[in-house]
A and B are shown apart, each in its own frame.
Chain A
Amino acid sequence: MKKIFRFMLLALMGCLSVTAFAKDKSIEIKPDRAYLLVQVDPIEYQMLGTNRMKMDVGFARYDVARNDIRGGFKSSENPVPEGESVRTLARKKPIAKDGKRRLYLLEVEPDTWVIESVGVSSGGALGVGSTSFSLGSYHFEAKAGQITDLGVFVPGRELSGNPDEKVTAGKVFGMALLGPFGGPKIEPVPLVLKIRERKADDLQLPVSMQEHEITYPAFVYGSSFGNYGGGLVNRIDGREGRTRATGETVYASMPGALKNEMAETTEVSGTVEGASISTPASSSVTKRAGDLDNEESGSDEVVADDEPVSITEPVI
């Protein structure tokens, strides 16, 4: 009996140690590389209840002057150096996961990056079309030696009123009975991506990495580029974005407490609660991740441009 108990105890300890390892998978931060920290939430869709599908997000190096991915049709004179990658995908090897949420820390070249696409290869049959944000996305700076916190990406479907886009029980049964070729189809719809700050109940950076500098980028709106994925296209914020100005910048991933703090240090007026802060495209705010919830520490360093900061209502 004692042996069985010891075996069970050892098995339990083994499980615990594996879990601890998965939660504290630290990555060496190299001074000449940049790091993108992003949580990607699953897309939710209704099909005999609420279902969730894990999503992949693509990033690419962006040529701001030519409005295209580096080395693309309009940027053929500005490809990335040989041996370097022009794209990266948040898809494999998350540093933390919970259900279908994933937290990625992507090691990339320091450069201007754009959020290029979101999707999943198997989503088309279920009306989830892989989408390139060619009509208007965000670009941002990823600097060497820093972790750039992009926040939490929440994908969604954008319906157009086409009845073929609806997921109905009849279509689902038809697909199950007749297969993907003979059965009814659900029209794929373009996706959107909302960006929000990481909250306490989201996936967190491993404890061992929280002493690293975290940078919250200025997301610059309106980046356009070719549809190199060959799927659907959209603006990252869908139809809502059609009235937004190109070049508008927002700190979409910055924690609210830090937004408040930044607003205080830059002498701005207006309601800050729930607002986004617009600053020039080159700016960013830096802070250590472990200090975010400690507003009274007094030692937090906020680094922002000297340019005036304005407060606008949240738009994403």
Chain B
Amino acid sequence: MSARDYYYFNKPGVDRDTYLEDRLACDELAGGAARADYGAALANPALYNNNLTVGQNAVAAGLSGFLIALMGNRENRRLQWKIERICLADKGYRRFEVEKKLIREIEKIEDEGEQVDRYFELASRPDAIGEEMYE
């Protein structure tokens, strides 16, 4: 088992709002019920602005969390990544392996909106790059 794989999810033509909704829904499942998340935000109107789209709310809430599992130990991180993969595959996304430096480069971007843009660009491109991985 490698410590970590470097990959992105691709669903050609997916629109930005759908992509963000899908990622957040899967992040919610990956986080389980153990932490405050998108679901908790939905249940708490004080945290969730109904005048914004789900995607805009997500940006407002801080999106970097959904790309890397938050739980501390390695096993839990692996479990969260696995849940994310199963969930996104269920929504029609395929997974492609890319060079470590590409993912590291995106992760280093401090502006969360820009970081999401980069992932969305990879997710929506019609010609996926990299080698397809198992779910």
**A contact residues vs B (CB 8 Å cutoff):** 72-74, 76, 132, 134-136, 160-162, 164, 185, 187-188, 190, 226-235, 239, 242
Contact (Cβ within 8 A) A233 B79: no
Q: Quick check: is B109 within 8 A (CB to CB) of the other chain? A: no
On chain B, the residues within 8 Å of A231 by CB distance are: 32, 79
Interchain CA distance A162-B33 in the complex, whole Å:
27
Contact (Cβ within 8 A) A242 B90: yes
Residue of B nearest to A75 (CB): B43
Interchain CA distance A232-B42 in the complex, whole Å:
23
Q: Quick check: is B46 within 8 A (CB to CB) of the other chain? A: no
B99 to chain A, nearest CB (A): 21
Contact (Cβ within 8 A) A234 B29: no
Interchain CA distance A261-B103 in the complex, whole Å:
60
On chain A, the residues within 8 Å of B39 by CB distance are: 72-74, 226
Contact (Cβ within 8 A) A162 B29: no
Interchain CA distance A63-B39 in the complex, whole Å:
15
Contact (Cβ within 8 A) B28 A226: yes
Interface residues on B, range: 20 to 34
On chain A, the residues within 8 Å of B29 by CB distance are: 132, 134-135, 226-227, 233
Contact (Cβ within 8 A) B33 A233: no
Contact (Cβ within 8 A) B40 A232: no
On chain A, the residues within 8 Å of B83 by CB distance are: 227, 232-233
Minimum-distance CB pairs A-B, first 9: A73-B39, A230-B32, A161-B134, A160-B135, A227-B29, A228-B33, A76-B43, A160-B134, A73-B43
Q: Given A73-B42, A160-B134, answer yes or no on A187-B32 (Cβ-Cβ < 8 Å).
A: no
Q: Given A226-B29, A230-B34, answer yes or no on A162-B134 (Cβ-Cβ < 8 Å).
A: yes
Contact (Cβ within 8 A) B87 A233: yes
Interchain CA distance A125-B40 in the complex, whole Å:
31
A283 to chain B, nearest CB (A): 28
Q: Given A164-B1, A187-B1, A226-B33, answer yes or no on A233-B28 (Cβ-Cβ < 8 Å).
A: no
Interchain CA distance A132-B39 in the complex, whole Å:
16
On chain A, the residues within 8 Å of B28 by CB distance are: 73, 226-227
Q: Quick check: is B118 within 8 A (CB to CB) of the other chain? A: no
Interchain CA distance A136-B33 in the complex, whole Å:
18
- Interface hub of A72, A162, A227, A229 (most chain B Cβ within 10 A): A227
Q: Given A76-B43, A161-B134, A235-B90, answer yes or no on A229-B32 (Cβ-Cβ < 8 Å).
A: yes
Q: Quick check: is B82 within 8 A (CB to CB) of the other chain? A: yes
Residue of B nearest to A73 (CB): B39
Residue of A nearest to B28 (CB): A226
With contacts A227-B30, A235-B90 known, what are 6 further pairs, Cβ within 8 A?
Answer: A74-B42, A161-B134, A227-B83, A233-B29, A233-B86, A233-B87
A74 to chain B, nearest CB (A): 6
On chain A, the residues within 8 Å of B40 by CB distance are: 73
On chain A, the residues within 8 Å of B135 by CB distance are: 160-162
On chain B, the residues within 8 Å of A135 by CB distance are: 29, 86-87, 90
On chain B, the residues within 8 Å of A160 by CB distance are: 134-135
7 contacts between A and B (CB under 8 A): A73-B33, A135-B29, A135-B90, A160-B135, A162-B134, A233-B83, A242-B90
B1 to chain A, nearest CB (A): 5
A30 to chain B, nearest CB (A): 32
- Interface hub of A72, A136, A160, A164 (most chain B Cβ within 10 A): A160
Interchain CA distance A23-B46 in the complex, whole Å:
56
- Interface hub of B1, B29, B31, B89 (most chain A Cβ within 10 A): B29
Contact (Cβ within 8 A) A230 B134: no
On chain B, the residues within 8 Å of A239 by CB distance are: 89
Contact (Cβ within 8 A) A232 B82: yes
Contact (Cβ within 8 A) A185 B86: no
Interchain CA distance A190-B29 in the complex, whole Å:
14
Q: Given A73-B43, A74-B42, answer yes or no on A185-B1 (Cβ-Cβ < 8 Å).
A: yes
